[in-house]
Structure 1
Amino acid sequence: MTGNSSKETDPSDPEHREVGRGLLDEEMGPSSSMAHLYRGEIHRMKLWRERLDRTTNWAVIVLAAILTWAFSSESNPHYVLLAGGGVLSTFLGIEARRYRGYDIWRSRVRAFQKNVWAYGLDPSQGLADEDWRTHLSDSYRQPQLKITRMEAIAHRLRRVYLPLLTVLLAAWTVRITAFADVPWPASAAIGRIPGGVVISTVLVSYGVLLFTALRPRTWHAETELLSEDLREE
C-alpha cells in the first residue's frame, strides 16, 4: 500500500478527479463503492451475454434439426430449408436487439477498465477518455442505446449468422441439384413460383445480408477482442 491514503486532497485539484490515481490506496481498495459498482456492472453484462448465447444456441439447434429433416428423405420439400432461413433471420433480429442492450453494460465495464483499473496499474499511459466520468454519469442518469439496429445486425451477422446462413444456402443448393427428381432450375420451384424466380430471390436476399455484414462502416459498439498478442514461451 502507498502512503497517499493519509494525504488530504483538495477537491478542486484536477488530480482529485482521477479516481484511478488512488486505486491501490486503502480508501480505494476492493471494499470501496467503486469496486462494488464495477462488480455490479460485470454481473449485468454477464446476464446479457448469456441471453445472446441462448439465442445463438437455439439458432444452431434449429439449423441442425432442419438440415437433418430436409435430407432424411427425397420426398421432403426443399423449401423447408428456405423456411429455416426465415427462422434464422428472426433469431438474428432478436439477437441484434439484445446486443444493443448488451453494449450498454459492456461500455460501462470498459469505461471502468480503461480509466480506473488500467490507470491505477500504470498511470504513465494516461486516461483513455479524459471525460469518462461525465460520459458515465450521463449513462447512469439516462441510459441510452449507443449503436444502431443495422450495426447490431451487421455485428451478429459477422460473428454468428452469416456462417449459419451460408451453410443453409449451400445445403439448399445441394438439395435442389443432387437430390432433385427434376432438372435444375425447375427443381427450385415452389408451387406455381418458377425455379428461376425462387433462385433469384434467394441470391438477392443473401447478397443483401452479405452487403450489410461486410460493407465498410464506422463501428460504435464497444470494442471486443479484435487482435492477437501471442506470447512466446
Structure 2
Amino acid sequence: MGEETDEFKPEGKEERDVAEKAAYDRSELLSLLQQYYRGEMSQSATFLGRLDLTVDWAIAVVTAILALSFESRGSYLLLIGMVALTMFLIFDVRRYRMYDAYRARVRLIEENVLANAFDPEGLPLTNWREEIANDLKHPTYKVSYLETLARRLKRIYLPLLVLLGLAWLFRITIFVPDETWNETAAIPGIPGEIVVSIVGAFYLVLFALAFWPRERKAKGEFHGQASDAWKKAD
C-alpha cells in the first residue's frame, strides 16, 4: 500500500490559515459572511429568548407575591419579592450585555455589507473587517454595566419594583388598621422603623441608578442619540 501524498498536517501553514483565502477572494468572503451572519443571528436570538424568559419569571413572581402577601399577616413576602426582583435584574443585566455583544456584530455586518449592497454610498465604518476580527479574537461588551442596569430598570424592573413598593406601603398602613405602621412593617428581629428606612434607601438607590444623568455610550440607532465608538474597551 503506497504512501499518501496529500497527508493532512495540522501544524502546517496552509492548514492553520484555512480561511486566509477568504480575505482576498470576494466569493469566498461572501460565502463565509453568509454563514457567519446566520450564526451571529442565531446567538443573538438565543440570548434574546433568555432575556424574555427572565422577564416572564419576574412578572410571574410579582403576580404570586401580590396574591399571597394579602392573605398572610406579615408584610415580609413583599420584601422577599423585592429581593427576588433584584436578583432577576442582576441576571437580566448580564444576559442583556451578552445579547447586545452579538447584536452589535450583526448590526455591523448589516450596516457595512447589506446596506452597502442595496445602496452603495460608502461604508459607515471603513475598517469594519478589522473591527469584527478584533472582536472575535478578544470579545468585549459594547455597553457598560451601569448603562445596562439603568436601561433595564427603566424599561422593565423599576415599574415592577414600584408596584411591589406601593403594595407594601398599602400593606403596612391601610390594610391593617388595628396596628401602627411600624408594628406592621416590623419583621422578626428588626424593628419597623429600620425596615422602612432600609426599603426607603433601596428605592432611592434604584431611582438614582435609573435616572441619574449620564452620557449614552451604547450604539442605539433607534434612540436618536449620538453613540460612542462601536467597540468598548472596558
Same fold (TM over 0.5): yes
Shift of 1:28: 8.8
The separation in 2 between residues aligned to 1:201 and 1:117, in whole angstroms, is: 52
Q: 1:142 to 1:192 in 2, by over 3 A?
A: closer
Q: Which residue is 1:54 aligned to?
A: 53
Q: Which residue is 2:73 aligned to?
A: 76
Most deviating of 57-66 and 180-189: 180-189
> Secondary structure of 1:147's partner?
coil
Q: 1:224 to 1:67 in 2, by over 3 A?
A: farther
Most deviating of 112-121 and 192-201: 192-201
Match of 2:169 among 162, 166, 173: 173
Match of 1:119 among 116, 119, 129: 116
Shift of 1:90: 0.6
2:173 is equivalent to residue 162 of structure 1: no
Q: Which residue is 2:197 aligned to?
A: 200
The separation in 2 between residues aligned to 1:76 and 1:224, in whole angstroms, is: 49
Q: Which residue is 1:89 aligned to?
A: 86
1:135-146 matches, within 5 Å, as 135-146=131-142
Q: TM-score, normalised by structure 2?
A: 0.77
Match of 1:129 among 102, 118, 125: 125
The separation in 1 between residues aligned to 2:31 and 2:59, in whole angstroms, is: 42
The separation in 1 between residues aligned to 2:123 and 2:215, in whole angstroms, is: 23
Most deviating of 189-198 and 88-97: 189-198
Unaligned runs of 5+ in 2: 1-22, 225-234
Contact 1:106/1:222, CA 8 A, preserved across alignment: no
The separation in 2 between residues aligned to 1:55 and 1:35, in whole angstroms, is: 31
Match of 1:152 among 144, 148, 161: 148
Shift of 1:139: 0.7
Shift of 1:191: 3.0
Q: TM-score, normalised by structure 1?
A: 0.78
Shift of 1:224: 6.0
Percent identity over the alignment is: 41
Unaligned runs of 5+ in 1: 1-16, 228-233
The separation in 1 between residues aligned to 2:147 and 2:62, in whole angstroms, is: 24
The separation in 2 between residues aligned to 1:57 and 1:222, in whole angstroms, is: 26
Q: Which residue is 2:231 aligned to?
A: none
- What residue identity is the alignment partner of 1:69? L
Contact 1:41/1:105, CA 8 A, preserved across alignment: yes
1:68-111: CA deviation from partner (whole Å, max 9, x where unpaired): 0012x2x4311110111001101111111111211110110110
Q: 1:138 to 1:51 in 2, by over 3 A?
A: same
2:188 is equivalent to residue 210 of structure 1: no
Contact 2:104/2:142, CA 8 A, preserved across alignment: no
Shift of 1:192: 4.3
Aligned residues: 200
Contact 2:44/2:99, CA 8 A, preserved across alignment: yes
